[in-house]
Amino acid sequence: MKLAFSTLGVPGLPLPDVLRLATAHGYHGVELRTHPEEPVHPGLGPDERADVAAEFKAAGIELLGLAGYARVAAPGDDGPVIEEIRTLLDLAHDLGAGFVRVFPGADPEQSRESADAIAARRLGTAAQHAADLGVRILLETHDSHRTGADAIRVLGLVGHRHVGSLWDVMHTWLGGEQPSETYAALAPYLGYVQVKDIASADDTTPLPLGAGVLPLAECVEVLSRHGWDGWLCWEYEKRWYESAAPLPELLGAGRDHLSRLLNESA
């Protein structure tokens, strides 16, 4: 498996500095948070996009994916949501990223059936554009659809190989799902896995990998046992928790922890 980290842990950091961190600490790739407050976002012009792609290539670091914020199950018109996804897909293609992350984002007042149908319809509509560009849309286990069982209801309706899943290990754990159950649900669709650690279900402030309660060893063991050979991406949510320790000083130990888990499960 290959290791990456998300720029959610280093909000606003210029791309050259992000790439230097990845190189210095032995990570193979980076997931870019694509928000207007970040250096890389959908508003970049063609020359700027080409520069970003060239910087990754020169550094020898892979651009794993773009973490977007489209909420595919949210109530309202389909048009703006589909356009947001297509805009992210265009950016991913121009930068050389293989994946685009989207959220479920259903309203608590929506019925499960309605939310699933809306999400599937929008993802199905965007799927052909994704296929044309060679990029996969990944529905993250998050918010209204936090478990693999939740996500599979939508993905099964879509039934397109360019629409898959992003397994966020915190949300499936908070949803009461065991790693073996999540993998069984998501395996046919799995794009990559986001790892992290927290103190408890009541305190989700990010911690160094291995310092909290999330079943990271079990997740890696399940993936390894089934011969899955994709990406583990550390999503350290510094952007939302100002009191959390700075990510750069944790990256080396985090890489070592994941490497140990991989060696133990080999």
**What value does the mean pLDDT of the chain take?**
97
250 is in which domain, residue-wise? 2-265
Calculate Rg over the CA atoms of the chain: 17
Residue 101, class by beta-carbon neighbours within 10 Å (0-12 exposed, 13-18 middle, 19+ buried)?
buried
For the domain that residue 189 is a member of, what is the CATH number? 3.20.20.150
pLDDT tens per residue across span 120-145: 999 999 999 999 999 999 999 999 99
**Residue 264 φ then ψ, to 5°:** -70, -30
pLDDT tens per residue across span 50-99: 999 999 999 999 999 999 999 999 999 999 999 999 999 999 999 999 99
> Does residue 165 sit in helix, strand or coil?
strand
Listed in sequence order, the DSSP H helices in the chain are 15-24, 46-59, 78-95, 112-133, 148-158, 169-174, 179-186, 216-225, 251-265
Instruction: State how many domains the chain has.
Output: 1
Query: Residue 266: is its pLDDT beyond 90?
Result: no
255 near 25, Cβ under 8 Å? yes
Strands 190-195 and 163-168: parallel
117 CB contacts (<8 Å, ≥6 apart)?
Answer: 157
pTM (predicted TM-score): 0.97
